[in-house]
Structure 1
Amino acid sequence: MSDSNKPLFSRPVLAAIMLFCTLAIWLLNLTATSSTLPTPKVETWTTSSGVPVVWLKQETWENSNKVELRFAFRSVTTNTVLIETTLAMLMSDSLPLSTASINQRLAPLAASANSYYDHENQVIGLTLNNETDYLLPSLSLVTKWLKSPDFKRRTFDNWQAQRPLSPDAQHELEGALFFDSAAEQISRNRTPASLERIIDYYQSLKNAAVAIYIVGDLTLEAQKSLQTALNEISRDFQIAKNPAEQIQHEPLSTIIQQNQGELWQTRSAIALKPVATIKEWISLQIWGADLVATLNQQQHIDFVQLALTLSPTNPWAWWSIQYSNNPIIAPTVSNEEMDQLIDAKSLVFTEQVPSIKSEKRFQTLLDTFKTQLETQALSPTWWSYIATQITHVDSQLTLEQFANNYQEAVDSFSAEDYQVALTQLLISSSYQEIQVYQ
C-alpha cells in the first residue's frame, strides 16, 4: 500500500477520538439548558391619565391573532361579596339599552370578557382578535362598556335571589386569615349589597388602577388603535394611592368542627409570605403539586382541590379535601398503613413535606413542572395570569423580571432552593381548618 492510501490514524487512535467525541457531546448535553422556554419582550408606556401599560410579546405569537388585555385594580375592601357582585353584574347585561350579556355581544367579534378577584386584587380581562375587522369594533364596544356600565335593577334583584346566604369555604377561610375574625367576616358577607353600593364600588375600582397589561402580537396599526382606546377607557382612572395597604391580623392555628357524625370534608388554609423571587414561585408550584398528590394517594380521600392566591401583600393557599364513605381509621388498617397516613396540617411544616424528605420525589415533581411549563409559556392567556396574579408592578417580582429570568431560575433550581423557599414562605402558625361532618 502506498503512503497516500494509508489511514491517517490507527484503529486505537480512532477509538480514542470517538470516545472523546462521545464524552464531549455528553458534557455539552449536561451543561446545556434543561428546558426550552421563550423569552418574551416587554414594552411599557403610560396612558394619558398616567396608568402604566405593560405589553408582553414573543416571536411565537407573530402569526397568532389572539391578544389578552387585563385591567388590574386594587380597591381594598373586606366585603368580598361586594366585589363578587359588582364584577358579576359587570359581566352580565351591563351595556346600556341591552338585555344581552357582554359576552353575547362580544362573541360575533371573536372576543370575550372575564373577571378575577381576591382579597387584594380585582381584574377585568378581555380576549381580543388583533385583526382590524374584529379589533376596532371590539374596542368601540368595550370602551362604551367600561366607561359607563349600566347596572340594572332587575339584574341585581335576580342575583340577590340566586346567591346563597352562607359564604363559601374560600371566603370563610379568607376571613379567618386576614380579617378581624371569621365570624365578623361572615356577618359582613351576609349583609346585602345595594345597587347604589355596587355603582359606588365600580367607581372605587376606577379610582384604584394599578396597571393595564397587553399580552400578544400587535401590528403597528393595531397598537395605535389599542393605545387610543386605552387612553379613552382610562380617561377618568386614578392610580391606587396605597396599593400595598391591606387589613391584616396575626392569625393563630385553629380547627373548627361543624356538626357531628362522620368526617365528610375538611377545608384548610395557610398564610404565606409575599413571593419575592421566581424560585419561590416555583417552590410553591411543586409544594402544591406534592400536597395534592400525597393526599389523593390515600384511600380514604376521594379528591383534593388546591388554590394559591399569590397577591402582593398577603398571599395564601387553601385546599379542600373530600373524604370517601370508608372510615378513616378502620380495624383492618395495619400499623404500617397508619404510619403512612398524612393529615392536611402536617404538609404545612417544611420538614414533613414528602418532596423535602425524598430527593427522588422532588426530582419527579420538578420534571413534571418543567414539562408543563414548556407548553404554558407559549400561551398568551398563561402570561396574562402571570402578569396579574403572580407578578405585580409594586412588588419585588415584576412581569419584566419574570420574563427575563424565569428560564435561568428553572434551569438552576435545586432541592436546596426548594427547602429554603418553603421555610421562608409557609407561615405554619397561621394554619386554619374547618372540619365538616355529616
Structure 2
Amino acid sequence: MSDSNKPLFSRPVLAAIMLFCTLAIWLLNLAVPSSKLPTPHIETWTTTSGIPVVWLKQEQWKNSNKLEIRFSFRSVTTDTTLIQTTLAMLMSDSLPLSTASINQRLMPLAARASSYYDHESQTIGLTLSNEPKYLMPTLTLISNWLKNPDFKHRTFDNWQRQHKNNLPAQHQLERVLFFDKSKQQDDPKTVKVSLEQVSHYYHSLKTSAATIFIIGEMSSDAKQIVQSAINLISEDYRLSKASTESIIYEPLSTVIQKNTGDLWQTRSAMALMPVSSVKEWISLQLWGTDLVSTLNKQQHISFVQLALTLSPQRPWVWWNIQYGDKIAAAPNQLSGEENRLINAKSLIFAEQVPSVSDKKAFQALLETFVQQLEQQTLSPTWWSTIATQVTHEDGQLTLEQFANNYQEATDNFSIEDYQMALKHLLKPSSYQEIQVYQ
C-alpha cells in the first residue's frame, strides 16, 4: 500500500479523538444555561419632581396588556399600626364623594389597587390595562384618588372597632425583635390612632418617596400617557432621606411564654443581614422551603407559615407553627429523632439545615425552585414584588442588578454558594420566640 492510501490516524488515535470530541461537546452543553429564564430590559428616567422611575419590560410581554405600577416609599417608623391603618383607609372608600372602595371603582376598568408595608418601606400598587380605552380613564381616576384621598370618619370608626384587639403576629414579633427592650413600650392594643394621624401620615409618605416602578409592555403612546400621569401624581413628592447605614445586631435571643396549658403555637423571628446578591436571595428561598418542609413532616404540627421581609436595612424572617391535637408536651419533652425534627430553633443555624449538608436534598430543592422560577418570571406581578420587596434602589441589590444577574446566578448556583450565604445571612443570636399555650 502506498503512503497516500494509508489512513491518517491509527485506530487508537481515532478512538482518542472521538472521546475528546465527545467530552468537548459535553462541556459545551454544560456551558449552555440550563434554565429557561427571560432576559428583562430596563429603562430609567426621573419625574418632573425628581423621583426615579424604573421601567422593566421583556420580549415575552409584547402581546400582553397587563401593566403594573408601584409607588415605593421609605417612611421609617416603629408605629406599624399607624401604617396598617393608613393604607387600609386608602384602599377603602377614600375617593371624594364616594361610598365605594377604590377597587370597586376600578373593577369596570379592568384595574385594581393594592398596598404593602413593612417596618422600613411602604408600597402603593396598581394593576391596569395598557389598552387605550382603559388606560386614560384608569389613570385619571387614580390621579384624583392619590392626589387628595378623602379619609372618612365613618370608615375609620368601623375599622377601629373591627381591629382594636387584632394585632397581626408579625407586628408582635417586630416589636420583640427590633424595639429597644430597655424602654417601656406601649401595648399596641391600647394605643389609639386618630383620623388626623392617618391623614398626616399619608401626606408624610409624599416626602418619603423612593422609586416608581413600571412593569410591563407600553407602546410609545401608552408610555407618554403613563409618564404624564406619574408626573401629575408625584408633583408634590420628595425623595426619602431614610438612612442606609449598615445594621449591627446584638445578641438578644428571647423566649416569651403566654398563658399555661398545652403548647398551641410558636411564633418565631430572626434578623437577617441585608441581601446583597441574587445568590443570597436564592439561598433564603431554599432555606425557607427546607424549614417549612422539615417541620411539616411532623405529626405534631398542623401547619407552618413563613414570611421573609427583605427590607433594605433590617431584614428579618418570621414563621408561625400551629400544633395539632397530638402534641401532649412541649418540644423539649419529646425524644430522639422526633425532638430533633420538631425543634424549629435548630434550623436557624446554617450547619443544622438538612439541605446544607445533604447534596441530594439541596439539588432537589434547587430543581424545584428553578422550575417555579421559570413560570414566575413570566409574570409582571412577580417582577413588581421583586422590585419593591427584594431589591432596593437605595440598597445593596437593585432591580437592574437582579435582572442582569439572576439567570447566571441561578445556572451557576452551588451548594458551596448556599452554605456561604446562609452562614453570612442568618443571625441566630437575634432569635425571638413567642410560645402560646392554651
Counterparts of 1:244 and 1:152, CA distance in 2: 35
Structure 2 partner of 1:389: 389
Name the CA shift for 1:272/1:139 in 2 (closer, same or farther; >3 Å).
Answer: same
Tell me the percent identity.
Answer: 66
Paired AA for residue 59 in structure 1: E
Cα distance between partner residues in 2 of 1:66 and 1:190: 43
List gaps (5 residues or longer) in structure 1.
1-8
Helix, strand or coil at the partner of 1:190: coil
1:196 aligns with 2:219: no
Structure 1 residue 229 and structure 2 residue 229: aligned?
yes
Q: Which residue of 1 aligns with 2:88?
A: 88
Query: Per-residue displacement from partner, 1:7-59 (whole Å, max 9, x unpaired)?
Result: xx999999998877655543333232121211101110000000000000000
2:205 matches 1:205:
yes
- Distance in 2, matches of 1:181 and 1:209, equals 30
- 1:404 is aligned to 404
Is the aligned partner of 1:28 residue 2:31? no
Q: Given the alignment of the two structures, is residue 375 of structure 1 paired with residue 384 of structure 2, yes or no?
A: no
Separation (CA, whole Å) in 2 of partners of 1:156 and 1:382: 32
Asked if 1:304 corresponds to 2:284, the answer is: no
TM-score, normalised by the number of residues in structure 2: 0.92
Measured against aligned partners, the alpha-carbon deviations of 1:129-154 in whole angstroms (never above 9, x if no partner) come to: 00111000000000000000000110
Matches within 5 A, 1:248-397: 250=250, 252-327=252-327, 337-338=337-338, 340-397=340-397
Deviation at 1:244, TM superposition (A): 2.9
**Cα separation, 1, equivalents of 2:189 and 2:335:** 45
Contact 2:247–2:313 (CA<8 Å) still a contact in 1? no
Cα gap change, 1:292 to 1:207, in 2 (>3 Å):
same
Cα 1:66–1:19 change in 2 (3 A) is same
1:161 alignment counterpart: 161
CA apart distance, 1:405: 0.6
Contact 1:130–1:222 (Cα < 8 Å) also in 2: yes
Aligned counterpart, 1:147: 147
Distance 2:212 2:132 in 1: 21
The 1:251–1:169 alpha-carbon spacing in structure 2 relative to 1, beyond 3 Å, is farther
Q: Which whole-Å CA distance do the structure 1 matches of 2:235 and 2:247 have between them?
A: 29
SS for the counterpart of 1:187 is: coil
**Which consecutive residues of structure 2, in runs of 5 or more, have no partner in the other structure?**
1-8
TM-score by length of 1: 0.92
- Whole-Å separation in 1 of the counterparts to 2:430 and 2:222: 48
Instruction: Give the SS at the match of 2:165.
Output: coil
SS in 1 for 2:93: coil
Q: Structure 1 CA distance, aligned partners of 2:249 and 2:409?
A: 33
Instruction: Give distance in 2, aligned partners of 1:368 and 1:184.
Output: 46
Name 1:123's counterpart in structure 2: 123
Count of residue correspondences: 430
CA distance in 1, matches of 2:158, 2:436: 30
Give the whole-Å Cα distance in 1 for the aligned partners of 2:152 and 2:407: 47
Change in Cα spacing, 1:25 to 1:93, as seen in structure 2 (3 Å) is same
CA contact (8 A) 2:52 2:211 kept: yes
Q: Residue 116 of structure 1 aligns to which amino acid in structure 2?
A: Y
> SS of 1:48's equivalent?
coil
Q: Distance in 2 between matches of 1:376 and 1:415?
A: 23
| CA spacing shift, 1:13–1:273, aligned 2, 3 Å | closer
* C-alpha separation in 2, matches of 1:128 and 1:277: 31
8 A contact 2:112–2:126 mirrored in 1: yes
Letter in 1 for 2:142: V
Shift of 1:298: 1.2
CA deviation map 1:208-229 (0-9, x unaligned): 0001000000000000000000
Residues 243 and 182 of structure 1, relative CA distance in 2, 3 Å threshold: same
Contact kept? 1:179, 1:249, Cα under 8 Å:
no
C-alpha distance in structure 2 between counterparts of 1:394 and 1:263, whole Å:
42
Instruction: Measure how far apart 1:157 and its partner are.
Output: 0.6
The question of 1:45 aligning with 2:41 is answered no
**Is the 1:175–1:182 contact (alpha carbons within 8 Å) kept by the matching residues of 2?**
no
Residue 79 of structure 2 is matched in structure 1 by 79
Structure 1 residues 334, 291: closer, same or farther in 2, change over 3 A? closer
User: For the Cα contact (< 8 Å) 1:178–1:247, is it kept in 2?
Assistant: no
Asked if 1:240 corresponds to 2:240, the answer is yes
- Specify the alignment match of 2:418 in structure 1: 418
What amino acid does structure 1 have at the position aligned with 2:311?
S
Change in CA separation of 1:421 and 1:404 when aligned onto 2, cut-off 3 Å: same
The one-letter code matched in structure 2 to 1:385 is T
Residue 91 of structure 1: CA displacement?
0.4
Measure, in 1, the Cα distance between the counterparts of 2:377 and 2:234.
29
1:334: how far off? Answer: 9.8
* C-alpha separation in 1, matches of 2:257 and 2:334: 27
Give the CA deviation at 1:393: 0.7
- Does the Cα contact within 8 Å between 2:263 and 2:329 map onto a contact in 1? no
Deviations 1:284-341 (A, max 9, x none): 00100000001001111111000000000000000000111112569xx996543643
Aligned mates of 2:326, 2:148 — CA distance in 1: 54
CA contact (8 A) 1:72 1:122 kept: yes
Q: d(CA) in 2 for partners of 1:168 and 1:147?
A: 29
Q: Secondary structure at the match of 1:305?
A: strand
| C-alpha spacing 1:174/1:116, structure 2 compared with 1 (3 Å) | same
